[in-house]
């Protein structure tokens, strides 16, 4: 009887050990899954998610400017299959923000309306990467023809609305009164593009509906540990979309004209 009791204790102990091991393995898979799946994205792309003190949840893709490609997709970013986020403003199949790759607008011909050559109606903040100098900056322009770069065939430019991350006093006036940021006071999904002191690019989408001010505050407090130099607001609300591995933010499932893709290959 004593031997049988000991056997039962050993059996129960082994069963508990097996159960505990399976439980811990399952728990590990659940919590590690986003990071495992992110390995399916290109080299040079880092994904992070954070909820800031003001309650805004941000999804951030960090990459190098050489890895950026601006694409016309006429599709939802999630359905496109390309890692990245949505781009600038649009109406139907026409781009209302600059989107130019190496001198060529991504949605048509040079100087053609809706092609990505113009920031329609306003001089707006446009992020520019000069492939010669390897420098990133934000320039306020009405068209790609007004941009300053070293070589007109070796750059990319993405239009939006200036965030003026280092000017807390005047950013709102500039964004709304001078550059026409849509619905700044509404609680909406938001998207942005920024760069830091080392030149890294941050593609940012909120999964929390918030005002433009709350979104900007969340970015300043949590992205790049205070090293951000400048950024631009991109299209928002249902157009705020992101794809990175198993992380899929489809906005309201709408189709967008253009996206900012991370291809993981230097151009």
Q: Is residue 267 part of a domain?
A: no
Q: Is residue 49 part of a domain?
A: yes
Question: Which 8-state DSSP code applies to residue 252?
Answer: T
CA distance 218 to 230: 14
DSSP, collapsed to helix, strand or coil, labels residue 84 as: strand
The pairing of beta strand 155-159 with beta strand 124-130: antiparallel
Instruction: Mark whether 34 and 108 lie in a shared domain.
Output: no
Beta strands in 98-255 (DSSP E): 99-101, 104-105, 124-130, 135-141, 155-159, 161-162, 191-196, 201-206, 228-233, 242-244, 247-249
pLDDT digits (tens, 9 = 90+) for 161-173: 999 999 999 999 9
pLDDT digits (tens, 9 = 90+) for 5-21: 555 544 445 654 444 44
pLDDT digits (tens, 9 = 90+) for 193-248: 999 999 999 999 999 999 999 999 999 999 998 899 999 999 999 999 999 999 99
- State percent of the chain over pLDDT 90: 81
Instruction: Mark whether 28 and 80 lie in a shared domain.
Output: no
| Mean per-residue pLDDT, 17-33 | 43
Instruction: Mark whether 7 and 126 lie in a shared domain.
Output: no
CA distance 259 to 81: 11
Contact 219, 228 (CB under 8 A): yes
Instruction: Mark whether 80 and 164 lie in a shared domain.
Output: yes
Instruction: Mark whether 59 and 145 lie in a shared domain.
Output: yes
Contact 83, 244 (CB under 8 A): yes
What is the structure's pLDDT at 12?
46
Q: Is residue 114 part of a domain?
A: yes
Instruction: Mark whether 57 and 119 lie in a shared domain.
Output: yes
Mean pLDDT of the chain: 89
Query: For the chain, how many structural domains are there in total?
Result: 2
Q: Is residue 140 part of a domain?
A: yes
Question: Which 8-state DSSP code applies to residue 42?
Answer: P
What is the pLDDT confidence band of residue 146, given thresholds at 50, 70 and 90? very high
Q: What is the pTM of this model?
A: 0.85
Instruction: Mark whether 149 and 178 lie in a shared domain.
Output: yes
Structural domain that includes position 25: 1-40
């Amino acid at each position: 009887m004593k031997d049988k009791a000991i056997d039962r204790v050993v059996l129960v102990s082994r069963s508990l050990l097996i159960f505990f091991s399976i439980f811990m393995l399952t728990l590990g898979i659940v919590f590690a899954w986003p990071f495992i799946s992110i390995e399916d994205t290109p080299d040079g792309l880092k994904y992070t998610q954070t909820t800031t003190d003001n309650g805004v949840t941000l999804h951030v893709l960090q990459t190098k400017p050489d890895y950026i490609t601006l694409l016309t997709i006429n599709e939802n970013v999630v359905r496109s299959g390309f890692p990245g986020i949505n781009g600038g403003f649009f109406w139907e199949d026409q781009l209302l923000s600059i989107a130019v790759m190496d001198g060529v607008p991504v949605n048509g011909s040079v100087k053609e309306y809706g092609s990505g050559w113009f920031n329609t109606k306003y001089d707006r903040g446009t992020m520019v990467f000069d492939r010669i100098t390897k420098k990133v900056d934000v320039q306020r322009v009405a068209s790609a023809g007004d941009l300053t770069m070293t070589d007109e065939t070796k750059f990319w430019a993405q239009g939006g609305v200036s965030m003026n991350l280092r000017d807390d006093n005047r950013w709102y006036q500039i964004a709304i009164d001078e550059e026409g940021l849509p619905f700044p006071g509404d609680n909406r999904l938001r998207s942005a593009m920024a760069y830091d002191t080392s030149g890294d690019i941050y593609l940012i989408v909120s999964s929390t509906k918030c005002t433009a001010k709350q979104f900007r505050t969340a970015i300043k407090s949590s992205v790049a540990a205070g090293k951000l130099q400048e950024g631009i607001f991109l299209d928002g609300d249902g157009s705020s979309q992101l794809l990175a591995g198993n992380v899929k933010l489809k906005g309201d499932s709408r189709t967008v004209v253009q996206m900012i893709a991370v291809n993981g290959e230097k151009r």
